[in-house]
Structure 1
Amino acid sequence: MTKRIALATSAEHAELPPTDLPLVDALRTAGLDPVAEVWTDPSVDWSAYDAVLLRSVWDYHRRYDEFTEWLARLDKAGVPVLNDSGLVRWNGDKRYLLELRERGVAIVPSQVAAGACLHEVVSGLDGQEIVVKPTVGATALHTVRGVAGSTELDQALAELPEIVYLVQPFQPEIVADGEWSLIFVEGEFTHAVIKRAAAGDFRVQSDFGGTVTPTDPTPVVLDGARTALEAVGPTPTYARIDGVVVNGRFLLMEVELIEPELFFPQYPQAVDKLAAAVAARL
């Protein structure tokens, strides 16, 4: 029998974003029956599927407790999740960066600050340009940049919700040279892009005018990304490794294992590779 796979998406993208539509065709070609399902829809019978492939669940960070409860229900029902639900839980909180640092991965220097401790941590960096971002977050939500100790940053911090944050020194190379994203399928490198922010901004996401350019990675970039992926542990079905080159070293910014943009339009061959990998997992 043809195996059915749910492509988990959000209510805002119930029909899947255009960049994922080629994946539907590729999964069918690979012998699967893919169906887009909104992960928050209570009427969905997830046990009717042979697996759930996380795609555009782009609101998970806004409803994180609900998201992890949903994963628990899938686990209880015996429905496999791609990526693996254990990896997804681990990846949902950016404090994993500190674990990877302990495993020998070069990361952008990071401190964790919870609630009221945020001001204490920032005060210890007086005069430095920093970035503050939630440990559970995406699309630069509640992310601020400024000089520690400045009135402008203090005001911006005062407007943030009391959640847990990462505090990092701002890396000017992101603006000057761009941020790398490297895509892997079953641990095999497929393609890479450089993301650049719009003039006057530091956020590379397309939501803020950022651009994407397909680029072959240098050995330093590729080796650094592979080191980061290997340190994760179990090989994920798909992964995106984001980082920046600083003083000749690739510094990890994020490991994206939940709902990353995989830049299929920039490298269409990756669609077939991912579809084949999903089919093989089932």
Structure 2
Amino acid sequence: MTKRIALATSADHPGLHEHDLPLVDAVRAKGLDPVAVVWTDPSVDWSAYDAVLLRSVWDYHRRYDEFCEWLNVVDKAGVPVFNDSGLVRWNGDKRYLVELRERGVAIVPSQIAAGACLREVVAGLDGQEIVTKPTVGASARHTVRGVAGSAELSLAMDDLPDLVYLVQPFVPEIVTDGEWSLMFVDGEFTHAVVKRPAEGDYRVQVMFGGVATLTDPPAAVLESARETLAAAGPAPLYARVDGVVVNGRFLLMELELIEPYLFLPEFPEATEKLATAVANRL
């Protein structure tokens, strides 16, 4: 029988995001039956599928407890999740960066602060330009940039919800040189882009005017990304390694293993590689 694979998506993109649509045909060409399924739909019988591939679940960070419970439901149904549900849970909270640092990965310097302690941690960085972001979050939601000790930053922090935060120095190279994103399928490098913010901004996401350019990474950047992936454990089905080069050294910003935008339209060959990897794992 043809194996059915649920392409998990959000209610905002019930038919998948348009950039993921080529993956449907590529997976079908491998003899599988791909079906876009909204992960929050309570009527879905997940046991009817042979696997779940996380794609456009871009709302998971806003409903994180519900998302983790959904993973439990899929696990209990005995249905494999790509990436593995245990890896997804680990990757869902950016505190994993501290673990990777302990495993020898160079990261952007980071401190963890519970909401009640955020101002205390920021006070210890007086005069430095910093960025705070939730450890569970995406798309720069609840992210604040400013000079520690300034009235402007203090005012901005007044509006932050009581969450756990990463506190990091602002890295100006993101603006001057851009942020790297390197894509991997089954542990093999496929392609990379450099993301640059719009003029006057520091956020590289497209909704803020950021632009990504397909670019071959320098050997040292690629090697650092490979070392990051190796430190995380067995090769995931797909991964995106985000980082910035500071003083000639690649510093990890995020390792994206849940629902990353993989820049498939920019490099269509990766769509075929991902479909092949899915079929091989089934």
Decide: shared fold, TM above 0.5: yes
Residue 138 of structure 1: aligned partner: 138
Residue aligning to 1:28 = 28
1:255 equivalenced with 2:255 (yes/no):
yes
**How many angstroms apart in 2 are the aligned matches of 1:164 and 1:273?**
37
State the partner residue of 2:227. 227
**Which position in structure 2 is the counterpart of 1:60?**
60
CA RMSD of aligned residues (A): 0.4
Task: Determine whether 1:184 maps to 2:184.
Answer: yes
1:134 CA displacement: 0.2
Taking the aligned partners of 1:57 and 1:233, their CA distance within structure 2 comes to 23
Report what 2:97 is aligned to. 97
CA distance in 2, matches of 1:21, 1:183: 18
Within a 5 Å distance, the mapping from 1:54-133 to structure 2 comes to 54-133=54-133
Structure 1: which 5+ residue stretches go unaligned? none
Match of residue 155 from structure 2: 155
Q: CA deviation at 1:166?
A: 0.1
| Structure 1 position 178, deviation (Å) | 0.4
Seq. identity, %: 77
Between the aligned partners of 2:42 and 2:92, the Cα distance in structure 1 is: 22
Alignment of 1:202-281 (within 5 A): 202-281=202-281
CA distance in 2, matches of 1:121, 1:265: 41
CA distance in 2, matches of 1:151, 1:221: 38
Residues in 2 aligned to 1:32 and 1:118: alpha-carbon distance in whole angstroms: 48
How many aligned residue pairs are there? 282
* Offset at residue 185 of structure 1 (A): 0.2
Q: TM-score, normalised by structure 1?
A: 1.00
How far residue 152 of structure 1 moved from its aligned partner, in angstroms, is: 0.4
Structure 1 residue 52: deviation in Å? 0.2
Instruction: Tell me, in whole angstroms, the C-alpha distance in 2 between the residues paired with 1:29 and 1:75.
Output: 27
List, as ranges, runs of 4+ consecutive aligned residues in structure 1 with deviation greater than 2 Å: none
Structure 2: where are the runs of 5+ without partners? none
Q: Which residue of 2 aligns with 1:16?
A: 16
CA distance in 1, matches of 2:80, 2:267: 27
Note the alpha carbon deviations across 1:117-154, whole angstroms, 9 max, x for none. 00000000000000000000000000010000000000
CA distance in structure 2 between the partners assigned to 1:152 and 1:10 by the alignment: 35
Partners of 1:152 and 1:205 lie apart in 2 by 23
Secondary structure of the 2:35 match is strand
CA distance in 2, matches of 1:236, 1:97: 17
State the Cα distance separating 1:116 from its structure 2 match. Answer: 1.2
Q: Write the distance in 2 (CA, Å) between the matches of 1:195 and 1:36.
A: 29
TM-score, length of structure 2 as denominator length: 1.00
Q: Describe the SS at the equivalent of 1:216.
A: coil
Note the C-alpha offset of 1:23. 0.2
Q: CA deviation at 1:251?
A: 0.2
